[in-house]
Amino acid sequence: MSNPVATPTRIPPRTTRRYANVYEAQAPGGAGVQNVKGEAVRKQLLCVLTVLAVAAATAGAALAVLGGQPDGNAHPYVGYEDNGVFACSGTLLSPTVMLTAAHCFSDSTSAFGTDTVTGAPIVRATFDPNLANTPSANRVWHYGTYYFDPQFAIGAGHGLPGFDTHDVAVIIFGSPGCHVPANASGTSTCGTITDPTTYGALPTQGLVDTLENGAPIDLVGYGDQNFIRGGGPCDGNCKPREGDAFTRFFGQTTLITSNDKLSSQFIKLHSNPSGTCFGDSGGPNLLGGTNIVLGINSFVANGICAGNTYSYRADTSDALGWVTATVAAQHAGIAH
């Protein structure tokens, strides 16, 4: 159980470049800082959320898998994604559709511009399991168009139940209005994805409600793998710093079943033996040993990712209905 007097903290997407304790907006080998406003707004938003969540539970943006191990090619359909400002994880559902979170890129301006037909933001993705160690010139990027549920909101209600809602989004590959930025590095394309050829799968409606407490859950993402403590002067404000990231990690945990105001939209997971952290936002909570996405990483119980994970349920009528309708509207498809 989470501490009833703790404060919920949104699991933020990871900024894509670090300078000591300050994050700047640059993805690995990618575009430079195009819009610093997105970072400033996000920091203000997190402060506001902390105030609103007093006596609730501190929510924080999703990082990489803590307590996990390198995934290698075990889950090739889980990818890294960014908009040149923030970085998240996501699940490829077909050659044209990637599932992720609405909070990843909905409140920042993409450094890669917008779709020339729909006006939606352009983002990029890669499925390189060892992205952090791949030279920039050798990276393979897939550019696509990002759409998020218009009902998404942060802090729209009181306490933890109102902390986050409708936290789902998709990236569509192969859109007519997609374009690759002129300064793109590595191999960059806007078409449908031909590799990987295996995909994650949407759940059947209500699947989470059929699972027992302690059901096995697999976590996969590109977020923080650890925190660094100490290491030099810090003016009396020595806080843990985010450590390694941008490598696909895998970990296992278990489901915490509940029947409360939050459970209709979110699943709750233990943080042991593995948990999610910053950069894991948008990544999947898979039913153990399968490719079925039960939830989409949304927020954690504290600012160092040591508490429970809360993930937006992918098996609700709202989530499935929005994803299906949006994919159809963009003339894409989902593998079955």
Burial class (CB in 10 A: 0-12, 13-18, 19+), 161: middle
Structure tokens at 302: 């504290």
* Confidence at residue 17, expressed as pLDDT on a 0 to 100 scale: 33
The per-residue DSSP string of 285-315 comes to EEETTS-BEEEEEEEESSTTS-S-EEEEESS
What structural domains and CATH numbers belong to the chain? 9-230+240-329 (2.40.10.120)
- How many angstroms from the chain centroid is the CA of residue 306? 17
Q: What SS3 class is residue 144?
A: strand
The model's pLDDT over 120-145, given as tens digits with 9 standing for 90+, comes to: 999 999 999 999 889 999 999 999 99
- Provide the 10 A C-beta neighbour count for residue 77: 24
Which distant-in-sequence residues (6+ apart) come within 8 Å of 61 by Cβ? Answer: 9, 10, 11, 12, 13, 14, 46, 103, 278, 281, 299, 300
Ranges of residues in the chain with a pLDDT under 70 are 1-68, 158-162, 224-245, 272-275, 301-306, 336
List pLDDT tens digits, range 244-292: 568 898 989 999 998 888 899 999 998 766 667 777 889 999 999 999 9
List C-alpha distances in Å: 199 to 64, 189, 287, 318, 327.
20, 19, 14, 22, 16
